């Protein structure tokens, strides 16, 4: 049986590799005239960040399938958890197949989400980027603000209650929150197409303020080696992202969604491991 420490370390290593890849490509693009478009090129269809996203889709499918088989074999978790695993397994298959074969024009899934003529009208901008807004809103609410608010208010689900047990299993860990924050931080800080997109920056500022407050008042779970390292990477990443604002604006969002998908897959692995061990 896979141990929780192994899952934590595995995704911490994946996070570090993705972080180094993004950071190096940004720094090379910023300080090298010869490779000034490296980060932009790596964000295109079929390049490294797109391949990383497909790898995470496939990894998520394998994790969900393994958890579903093992938990069903040992009759752990109940039918609700098994149904959720099945839904997630189907979702990862759909994302992988659609990401690889779904486009007739060689556009990636994210390109089809984000592409469109530029507009300065709020309604047109909102509807054009509705999928992006929904995805980011989902991660901000359920993977950042809600778990941090629970720590802030000292809210802990009662594991003796069926609903409380489910919520305690599904609550994202601090590492997952950091992975999500890194994805949210990978944005253009000073070059926005419309003022509406500054809400993304405001949400990031609120999330970081909450995190710093909780760290200062020691309301978070006990910090381990990986949590401390990941927090350091987050701080360094924010500084580099701010210096590379124009470049990130030109490159697109594939690298950003790599971090968000990493957080999603890590979250699946963590709570599914908890179900399998019961």
3-state helix, strand, coil in the chain (%, to 5): 75, 0, 25
Percent of the chain with pLDDT over 90: 50
Mean pLDDT of 109-121: 45
Burial of 5: CB neighbours in 10 Å, binned 0-12, 13-18, 19+: exposed
Q: Categorize the per-residue pLDDT at 221 as very low, low, confident or very high, splitting at 50, 70 and 90.
A: low
Q: CA–CA separation, 91 vs 74, rounded Å?
A: 24
Q: Categorize the per-residue pLDDT at 113 as very low, low, confident or very high, splitting at 50, 70 and 90.
A: very low
User: Is pLDDT of 120 > 70?
Assistant: no
HSE at residue 112, side-chain half, CA atoms within 13 A, is 11
User: Is pLDDT of 245 > 90?
Assistant: no
HSE at residue 125, side-chain half, CA atoms within 13 A, is 12
User: Is pLDDT of 250 > 90?
Assistant: no
Which has the minimum average pLDDT: 110-124, 176-190, 191-205, 248-262? 110-124
Where are the chain's structural domains? 4-277
Burial of 104: CB neighbours in 10 Å, binned 0-12, 13-18, 19+: exposed
Give 122 or 168, the one with higher predicted confidence: 168
- If you ran DSSP here, which 8-state letter would residue 35 be given? T
**Alpha-helical segments (H) within 129-224:** 130-140, 146-152, 162-170, 174-185, 198-216
Largest CA distance in the chain: 61
pTM (two decimals): 0.89
Mean pLDDT of 106-135: 55
User: Is pLDDT of 125 > 60?
Assistant: no
């Amino acid at each position: 049986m896979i141990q929780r420490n192994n899952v934590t370390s595995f995704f911490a290593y994946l996070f570090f590799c993705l972080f180094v890849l993004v950071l190096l490509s940004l720094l090379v693009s910023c300080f090298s005239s010869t490779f000034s478009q490296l980060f932009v090129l790596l964000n295109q269809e079929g390049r490294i960040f797109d391949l990383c996203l497909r790898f995470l889709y496939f990894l998520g499918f394998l994790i969900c399938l393994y958890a579903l088989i093992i938990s069903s074999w040992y009759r752990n978790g109940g039918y609700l958890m098994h149904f959720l695993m099945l839904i997630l397994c189907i979702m990862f298959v759909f994302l992988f197949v659609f990401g690889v074969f779904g486009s007739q024009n060689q556009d990636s899934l994210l390109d089809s989400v984000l592409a469109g003529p530029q507009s300065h009208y709020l309604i047109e901008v909102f509807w054009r980027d509705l999928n992006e807004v929904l995805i980011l809103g989902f991660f901000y609410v359920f993977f950042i603000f809600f778990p941090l608010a629970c720590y802030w208010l000292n809210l802990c689900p009662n594991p003796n209650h069926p609903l409380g047990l489910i919520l305690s299993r599904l609550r994202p860990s601090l590492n997952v929150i950091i992975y999500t924050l890194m994805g949210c931080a990978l944005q253009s800080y000073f070059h926005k197409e419309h003022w509406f997109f500054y809400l993304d920056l405001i949400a990031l500022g609120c999330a970081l303020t909450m995190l710093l407050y909780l760290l200062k008042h020691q309301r978070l779970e006990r910090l381990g080696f990986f949590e401390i390292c990941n927090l350091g990477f987050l701080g360094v990443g924010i500084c580099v992202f701010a210096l590379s604002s124009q470049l990130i604006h030109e490159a697109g969002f594939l690298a950003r969604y790599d971090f968000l998908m990493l957080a999603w897959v890590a979250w699946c692995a963590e709570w599914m491991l908890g179900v399998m061990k019961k």
